[in-house]
Structure 1
Amino acid sequence: MMRVGGAIGAGNHIDRFIPVSKLKYYFAVDTIYVGKKLGLLIFPYMHQNWEVRYQQDSPVAPRVEVNAPDLYIPAMAFITYLLVAGFALGTQSRFSPEVLGMQASSALIWLIIEVLAILLSLYLVTVNTDLTTIDLIAFAGYKYVGMITGVVAGLIFGRTGYYIALGWCCISIVVFMIRTLRLKILSEAAAEGVLVRGTRNQLRMYLTMAIAAVQPIFMYWLTFHLVR
């Protein structure tokens, strides 16, 4: 009984710092969702409804709502990006565990900086939103799908293929982020019946566009040296 009680107590302490129960929501995906979400990330132009459905004041699981943020795709995309980066470096005789480690550390550090900068910006602009830190990590992690596409295209078709594929994915991620985040960042103003009026709401719109605009910068910065 003491061991069981100790384990439960330890679990409660872990859940206090790492919301394991909440993380389960972000990994509640299936094959159909993954396929639809990848298609949405690459081809967001025809998608009409970007709102996340709610059930009893809680968002429905990603596996039944393609607009819901998830951590499965960002996590798998990050790992795949490192594998593709290692393969690309290997084809150029530049691979080493140290170089790949630096690649992973750089990508992770920039992701952390990006999320912290967004959180600070939301605080400074006084945005009242239901966006969580995990949501921001998920949205920031979606860029790795486009990065993988660009590097793979570069390995097959050379730098021309890299620029074409990455350019398409950069435009797609900008469209995806704007259409997704504007519902979150402008939600308070929309609830009041005012969408883009006033200085504060203009700042929110600029912030949404800025978050979307930095995605191509990171995508290029973390991939251009992998294709020659």
Structure 2
Amino acid sequence: MAPGKRMMMTRRHSPHKIQVYLGGTTDSVRLKNSRRGDTKEEKEAFAEFLHGAGWKTEEIIQSMKDADDFYCERLALVKLDCWSKGHMVLIGDAAHCPSGRTGMGTTSSMVGAYILAGEIGRHCGAEDGKDGLAVALKAYEQKFRPFMEQVQQGVLEDSEDGLLDSLMATSFGIGIFNYLAGKMSFLKINPAKWMMKENVKNWDLPEYEELLRD
């Protein structure tokens, strides 16, 4: 079995059904190579990865194989040294996918597209000549990259010594986690504000008069 971390969480959303969240990090070649949308193969690869994890794993694996609403997705992080080449430029997830763990995919795409449009509007007038686009693309990277570096910082990096990993490594720790999660649910506290990367520091959204219409 490929080494890695495994995580399972259950959530009852109706009197008759329980949702199960399965995840982890693994070097499993089978899971990596399973074709997206090939539900049967993805289920088998997950079963192989999760086998022997303890608790109610075997029961969950069997339920997963019988489920007709199975969904599998990979967490991805895209880091490129350069977002443009010649007259070609990347924006959105193709350039800087921050992964679903940040909650900043849509925000990053919108901010990046806005800055790119602003710089093109600023540097690609008739008087700028053929070099205007090259200047605009360079300015796009210079202004937007500090934003994305903060959003992506620490994402998907090895956190083996992290507090959450240590907490979830024992039955006692899992009990504490469940207790705190229950309290937050009862008090209607949203933990996402501590997990998401919305607080980008020392960076201001540029203003572009070139994008304003009379």
Fold conserved between structures, TM > 0.5 = no
- Which TM-score applies when normalising by structure 1? 0.30
The structure that is strand-richer by fraction is 2
TM-score (norm 2): 0.32
Give the number of the structure with larger relative contact order, counting CA–CA contacts within 8 Å between residues 6 or more apart.
1
Query: Comparing both structures, which one devotes a greater share of its residues to helix?
Result: 1
